[in-house]
Every structure is written in C-alpha cells, then in structure tokens.
Amino acid sequence: MIAHMYGPVEGRKHDAGMLADSGLLADLQRNAFSLTGQPLCLYGDPAYPSRIHLQCPFRNAVLTPQMQELNAAMSALRISVEWLFGDIINYFKFLDFKNNLKVGLSSVGKMYLVGAIIRNAHTCLYHNQTSDFFSVDPPTLQDYFV
C-alpha cells in the first residue's frame, strides 16, 4: 500500500529535493517506531540521505562482500515496491499519462492521488502482489479510512 503519497511534482525535480519537500522524514521521526519503541526504517533510493528511519544502499568505493550482498538483496525488494505504481495504472487505464492525459488540461495529480487511494482500498479488501510477496496482511478497510 502507498502510505505517504507526495505530489504531483515536476519531473525535473531531484529525488532528494522531493524528499525534503514531502515532509516524510519528519513524519517518520514522529511515527516510525515499533510497539517496543525500536525505530522502524524505510529503504530508499541511493539519492536519499541515510538516516535512522531511512536507509540507503552502500555507496563506498570499496564494498565488502556483505555490503554487496545487502545492496543486491535490497535492490530486488525495492523493485517489488514499484509494482504498486504499475497497479494504479493497470487498474485505472485512464491514468496512463503518456497516452491519455494532458498537463494543464486535466487534473493529472489529483486523479492519480484518487486512483492511489482507491487502489489502497482495493488492497484492503483483496490483497495485492506486494502484500502477498511480503506475507503481510493489509489493514481492514475500516482501519484504512480512519
């Protein structure tokens, strides 16, 4: 499920700039803790800064075999997150920007956000490829909309 959707953003904007503008790091600092108080983290793009709540691939010039292994394993998992964005376009074909929408003539950003919310609701009811891959049950529809 998409838990923190930020946008729309102009395509030229750098990932690190979007991260700063989104407020995600502040939200994670307030909310990303386990029931026992341990910090939880996301794994992000190499362009992001490494923080307690946001981990990135190792970027050193010399990587140990363990660092290389972790980078490879996490890269494979990052791909599974991209499935969600494909799901939105597959379920709502009219959101295929390249084929159907025109910036300035359509509310592209709002329509995509609504598609993401509806896709999240669908996931609550029927699961999706990502929740099945990670063996994680999504919240109930009632909990999602609270």
Structure tokens, 125: 């009811």
Residue 93 has pLDDT above 90, yes or no: no
Q: Where are the alpha helices (DSSP H) in 1-146?
A: 15-22, 24-31, 65-91, 97-100, 108-126, 129-133, 141-144
**94-138 residue pLDDT tens:** 887 666 666 677 788 888 899 999 999 999 999 988 888 889 999
CA distance 141 to 146: 9
With CA atoms as reference, report the closest residue to 28 among 53, 48, 47.
53
Choice between 79 and 127, residue whose per-residue pLDDT is larger: 127
Longest Cα–Cα distance of the chain, Å, equals: 51
Let me know: does 80 contact 133? Beta carbons within 8 Å: yes
Q: What is the model's pLDDT at position 29? A: 95
pLDDT digits (tens, 9 = 90+) for 39-76: 999 988 888 888 999 998 988 789 999 999 999 998 87
Residue 33: band (very low, low, confident or very high) from pLDDT cuts 50, 70, 90: very high
Residue 97 confidence (pLDDT): 66
